[in-house]
């Protein structure tokens, strides 16, 4: 979907916008954090029934990404697209998942002023695992083992074939007995999961065993370390390492996403910033406002409602205006540089803090400009060039009658490197549409929104 932006020449802050360098197959692509989170939801949580559980997962996946960004730095990217980091599947992203990501946009899980290590597991089998038992460096007060009454973890069984197990261990570079008659658990973690196994006389780390079997024989055999073993027969519960958010339990809990996160990461807080700012929704059917400072920002809703009533274009319902609490959260959520005041995607307008825009005298003009984009996009036929859409918004906001009507290129309108060049392109577009209106009349030019540009103009 095309995006539309209003420009202000703020000095861009030093920190770059939050993007993620992702390795997919043999190529690396850079994408916005929120786009990455949608891909992770599709890859890791596509079977979820509960929308609130999906929102909890969105916060966990986003926090995981912010906390662990650069884990593949030495290879030239941030994350791989497999379960080693987080499994990403862009082909499976649905509008539902995009909405879920949007509803929690920018929200992170915080602990003592820093993004938490928000790991998650398929199914803890009824008791989560202590992070310190799996990754000693990552032990944390919010990742202690506790009961999970919500996932009645499905049981699994596996009868190990001794010859295949020995082969799998050898291929994985692990020590293996010459012959295998019986496997026993010789040491357990605090949550009663296997920590160390003995394979006849050979001792082996239980998770190394699980990974070797998984990689060589299939991941659905030894699904977790929560099992009993007699001879070569495994009886287990759950799936995955068991640390952090249990996806099955979260999906079945039936509670709001903040409660889900509080249950699996006790002692953390959810918010856009470490101080725990969270969204409040104001308004109704026509225009709603998402804000972290409802008292301060209520005026934006009033201004927007007044403007929407006075537009020459038909009214659009279901508009959402989202005001970020500071420049960083705006940049993180939109990927736009600091000199962009606001951005519109379909019916959602995302804005910098009202106080920032007001102090530069562009609050009302920004709201008007973005509302015009919403109404223009609701009508525009496919293939209408960007200069016309942008110029029409500019003209309806404030016609420019002086200078030569030069049409800017779409590339100049879209680039985010040079703010002065962008400003010039916006002015050129406005001037070009103003000149069309002067020659053809406003009604005719507005009509082209639905019919497309006539050949003489194209």
The residues that touch Zn ion, with contacts defined as CB under 5 A, are 80, 84-85, 124, 148, 151, 246, 249
Q: In the structure encoding, which two tokens stand for residue 40, read together?
A: 């992770």
E-assigned strand segments in 64-179: 79-80, 108-111, 114-115, 120-121, 155-159
Please give the distance of CA 280 from its chain centroid, rounded to a whole number.
19
Round to whole Å and give the CA distance between 128 and 242: 5
Nearer to Zn ion, 71 or 293 (CB): 71
Round to whole Å and give the CA distance between 119 and 64: 7
Nearer to Zn ion, 47 or 417 (CB): 47
Nearer to Zn ion, 20 or 204 (CB): 20
At closest approach, how far in Å is the CB of 246 from Zn ion? Answer: 3
Nearer to Zn ion, 156 or 324 (CB): 156
At closest approach, how far in Å is the CB of 236 from Zn ion? Answer: 14
Please give the distance of CA 349 from its chain centroid, rounded to a whole number.
17
The alpha carbon dihedral of 108, 111, 115, 119 has a sign of negative
CA atoms within 13 A on the CB side of 362: 18
Contacts of 377 (CB under 8 A, 6+ apart): 2, 4, 344, 346, 389
Helices (H), 151-281: 162-171, 206-217, 247-253, 257-264
At closest approach, how far in Å is the CB of 299 from Zn ion? Answer: 45
At closest approach, how far in Å is the CB of 79 from Zn ion? Answer: 6
Nearer to Zn ion, 81 or 321 (CB): 81
Contacts of 67 (CB under 8 A, 6+ apart): 114, 115, 116, 117, 118
At closest approach, how far in Å is the CB of 129 from Zn ion? Answer: 10
* Contact assessment for residue 432 and residue 394, using Cβ atoms and an 8 Å cutoff: no
At closest approach, how far in Å is the CB of 121 from Zn ion? Answer: 8
Question: Angle at Cα 46 formed by Cα 378 and Cα 288, nearest 5°?
Answer: 35
At closest approach, how far in Å is the CB of 237 from Zn ion? Answer: 10
Round to whole Å and give the CA distance between 210 and 201: 18
Contacts of 282 (CB under 8 A, 6+ apart): 288, 289, 291, 294, 297, 298, 301
At closest approach, how far in Å is the CB of 82 from Zn ion? Answer: 6
Residue among 337, 374, 371, 372 nearest 352 (CA): 337
Nearer to Zn ion, 241 or 348 (CB): 241
Backbone phi and psi for residue 229, each to the nearest 5 degrees, phi listed first: -135, 130
At closest approach, how far in Å is the CB of 227 from Zn ion? Answer: 15
Q: In the structure encoding, which two tokens stand for residue 122, read together?
A: 């398929």
Nearer to Zn ion, 126 or 353 (CB): 126
Nearer to Zn ion, 153 or 394 (CB): 153
Residue among 74, 81, 77 nearest 61 (CA): 81
Backbone phi and psi for residue 3, each to the nearest 5 degrees, phi listed first: -115, 155
Please give the distance of CA 9 from its chain centroid, rounded to a whole number.
27
E-assigned strand segments in 243-337: 245-246, 269-271, 280-283, 287-291, 319-323
At closest approach, how far in Å is the CB of 148 from Zn ion? Answer: 3
Nearer to Zn ion, 147 or 418 (CB): 147
Nearer to Zn ion, 149 or 318 (CB): 149
At closest approach, how far in Å is the CB of 215 from Zn ion? Answer: 15
């Amino acid at each position: 979907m095309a995006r539309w932006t209003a420009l202000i020449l703020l000095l861009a802050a030093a920190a770059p916008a939050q993007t993620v360098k992702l390795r997919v197959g043999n190529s690396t692509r850079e994408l916005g954090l929120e786009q990455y989170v949608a891909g992770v939801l599709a890859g890791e949580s596509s079977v979820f029934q509960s929308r609130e559980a999906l929102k909890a997962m969105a916060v966990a996946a986003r926090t995981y990404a912010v906390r662990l960004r650069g884990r593949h730095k030495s290879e030239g990217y941030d994350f791989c697209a497999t379960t080693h980091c987080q499994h990403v599947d862009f082909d499976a992203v649905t509008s539902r998942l995009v909405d879920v990501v949007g509803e929690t946009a920018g929200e992170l899980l915080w602990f003592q002023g820093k993004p938490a290590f928000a790991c998650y597991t398929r199914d803890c089998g009824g008791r989560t695992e202590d992070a310190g038992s799996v990754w000693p460096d990552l032990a944390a007060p919010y990742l202690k083992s506790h009961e999970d009454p919500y996932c009645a973890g499905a049981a699994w069984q596996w009868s190990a074939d001794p010859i295949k197990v020995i082969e799998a261990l050898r291929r994985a570079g692990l020590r293996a007995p010459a012959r295998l008659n019986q496997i026993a658990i010789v040491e357990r973690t605090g949550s009663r999961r296997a920590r160390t196994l003995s394979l006849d006389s050979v001792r082996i780390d239980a998770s190394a065993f699980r990974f070797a079997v998984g990689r060589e024989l299939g991941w659905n055999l030894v699904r977790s370390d929560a099992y009993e073993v007699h001879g070569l027969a495994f009886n287990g519960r759950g799936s995955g390492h068991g640390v952090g958010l249990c996806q099955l339990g979260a999906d079945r809990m039936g509670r709001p996403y903040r409660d889900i996160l509080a249950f699996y990461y006790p002692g953390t807080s959810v918010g856009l910033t470490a101080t725990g700012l969270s969204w409040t929704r104001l308004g109704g059917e026509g225009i709603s406002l998402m804000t972290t400072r409802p008292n301060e920002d209520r005026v934006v809703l009033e201004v927007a409602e007044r403007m929407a009533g006075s537009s020459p274009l038909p009214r659009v319902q279901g508009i959402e205006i989202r005001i970020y609490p500071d420049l960083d959260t705006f940049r993180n959520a939109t990927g736009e540089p600091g000199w962009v005041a606001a951005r519109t995607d379909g019916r959602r307008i995302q804005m910098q803090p009202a106080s920032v825009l007001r102090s530069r005298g562009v609050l009302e003009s920004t709201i008007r400009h973005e509302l015009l984009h919403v109404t223009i996009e609701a009508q525009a036929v496919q293939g209408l060039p960007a200069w016309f859409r942008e110029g029409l918004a500019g003209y309806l906001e404030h016609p420019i009658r002086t200078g030569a009507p030069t049409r800017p290129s779409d590339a100049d309108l879209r680039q985010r490197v040079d703010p002065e060049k962008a400003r010039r392109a916006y002015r050129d577009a406005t001037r070009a549409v103003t000149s069309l209106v002067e020659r053809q009349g406003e009604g005719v030019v507005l009509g082209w929104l639905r019919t497309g540009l006539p050949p003489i103009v194209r």
